[in-house]
């Protein structure tokens, strides 16, 4: 089996961050989302991975390299324009050959992995095996209608009146039969080759198409709220590790990771919290459920339920909560006063808030 990871999306819902970095590289607990995706794929024993990239290809290649650091062999496949998920299968045809493969959207977080679904696919080996998840409002998703044995009867992309609450969540297992389906469909009204149309073609031609319902935690990290929720979930399983400097005036409570070269001075850290390499936290209160990236500075501040990306600085701000601070962004104080803030701050930005 091979894997096809889709990392070419523009991430409009994550602006301003996605203006300056691919959304798939935004960190959860100080690791890019794509590394979690690749970890789940490697857990299946799959090491040959094609990565679909768009106009941010250079940044993704710089972050992942050839994959050897993670134990994978990566092949980068350029998609010149966002022409649909089925289009990515078409342009990856030479890489995929006639092998079975898993296709995985690169901004999906499934911390519990996909091993159980992969076992279902291997046991029955249908032409396609889609992964579905119960959602309260399926109108924003592709929706699967299933028969009593888990067979797919019909797929509808973003229906106005859904006949099912089972959403396609961006993980698919295919045999080589999908290539005939992709060749047989035409672009949708929005000009894209839809993977739902290709799978529906398989259903309509009598192929065996099944669905597996995912029971674990799932987030599409496409907006700030889901990004923060996912960060909290992943931090819940944090294992303490202290590799930096913690002075005698500081207090650490709960699971805390302090990476090499980080310094904690006269501060209280309430886990789960991760402090990145080279970061300095001074006279501050951090946590819980906070990730602070590498080479950050936090001085005289309180920060909780938040994410600070590499190089960010927070100075003199009390009550910063549920916030995301971009790379090399600076959050400081002004002369007015308040006691609670919520910020979404893009890369290389400076924001002044009331002292």
Class of domain 2-223: alpha beta
Q: Is the pLDDT of residue 220 over 90?
A: no
Q: What is the pLDDT of residue 17?
A: 60
Q: Is the pLDDT of residue 351 over 80?
A: no
Q: What is the mean pLDDT of residues 154-163?
A: 87
Dihedrals phi, psi of 4, to nearest 5 degrees: -125, 115
Total count of residues recorded for the chain: 355
pTM: 0.89
More confident residue, 53 or 82: 53
Distances (CA, A) of 209 to 92, 204, 214: 22, 10, 16
* pLDDT level of residue 340 (50, 70, 90 thresholds): low
Distance CA 46, CA 39 (A): 10
Strand 152-157 to 251-253 pairing: unpaired
What are the pLDDT digits (tens) for 254-270? 999 999 999 999 999 99
Alpha helices in 155-214 (DSSP H): 177-184, 195-204
* pLDDT level of residue 162 (50, 70, 90 thresholds): confident
What are the pLDDT digits (tens) for 96-141? 999 999 999 998 999 999 999 999 999 999 999 999 999 998 888 8
Q: Is the pLDDT of residue 337 over 80?
A: no
What are the pLDDT digits (tens) for 76-95? 999 988 899 999 999 999 99
Q: State the average pLDDT for the chain.
A: 90
Domain with CATH 2.160.10.10 in the chain: 238-354
Choose which CATH entry (3.40.605.10, 2.160.10.10, 1.10.287.130, 3.40.50.970) describes domain 238-354.
2.160.10.10
More confident residue, 32 or 354: 32
Q: What is the pLDDT of residue 160?
A: 85
The helix (run of H) or strand (run of E) holding residue 60 is helix 57-64
What are the pLDDT digits (tens) for 268-309? 999 999 999 999 999 999 989 999 999 999 999 999 999 999
Distance CA 32, CA 23 (A): 9
The CB-side HSE value for 355 (13 A sphere, CA atoms) comes to: 7
Lookup result for tokens 């402090």: 275
Largest CA distance in the chain: 70
Distance CA 292, CA 314 (A): 11
What are the pLDDT digits (tens) for 200-210? 999 999 999 99
Distance CA 145, CA 167 (A): 9
Domain with CATH 3.90.550.10 in the chain: 2-223
């Amino acid at each position: 089996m091979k894997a096809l990871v889709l990392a070419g999306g523009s991430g409009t819902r994550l602006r301003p961050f996605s203006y300056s970095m691919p959304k798939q590289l935004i960190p959860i607990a100080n690791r890019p989302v794509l590394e979690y995706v690749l970890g789940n794929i490697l857990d299946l024993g799959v090491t040959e991975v094609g990565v679909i990239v768009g106009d941010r290809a250079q940044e993704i290649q710089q972050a992942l390299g050839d994959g050897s650091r993670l134990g994978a062999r990566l092949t980068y496949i350029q998609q010149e324009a966002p022409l649909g998920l089925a289009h990515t299968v078409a342009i990856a045809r030479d890489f995929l050959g006639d092998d079975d493969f898993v296709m995985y959207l690169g901004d999906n977080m499934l911390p519990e992995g996909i091993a159980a679904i992969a076992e279902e696919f291997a046991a029955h080996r249908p032409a396609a095996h889609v992964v579905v998840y119960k959602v309260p409002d399926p109108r924003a998703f592709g929706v699967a209608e299933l028969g009593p044995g888990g067979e797919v009867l019909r797929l509808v992309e973003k229906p106005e009146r859904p006949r099912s609450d089972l959403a396609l969540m961006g993980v698919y297992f295919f045999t080589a039969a999908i290539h005939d389906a992709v060749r047989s469909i035409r672009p949708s009204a929005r000009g894209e080759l839809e993977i739902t149309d290709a799978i529906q073609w398989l259903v309509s031609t009598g192929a065996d198409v099944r669905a597996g319902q995912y029971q674990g935690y799932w987030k599409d990290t496409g907006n700030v709220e889901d990004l923060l929720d996912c960060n909290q979930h992943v931090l819940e399983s944090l294992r303490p590790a202290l590799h930096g400097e913690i002075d005698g005036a500081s207090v650490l409570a709960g699971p805390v990771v302090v990476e090499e070269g980080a310094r904690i001075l006269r501060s209280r850290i309430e886990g789960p919290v991760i402090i990145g390499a080279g970061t300095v936290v001074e006279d501050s209160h951090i946590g819980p459920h906070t990730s602070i990236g590498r080479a950050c500075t936090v001085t005289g501040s309180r920060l909780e339920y938040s994410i600070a990306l590499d190089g960010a600085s927070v100075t003199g701000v009390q009550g910063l909560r549920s916030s995301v601070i971009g790379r090399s962004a600076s959050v400081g104080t002004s002369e007015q006063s308040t006691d609670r803030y919520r910020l979404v701050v893009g890369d290389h930005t400076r924001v002044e808030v009331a002292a």
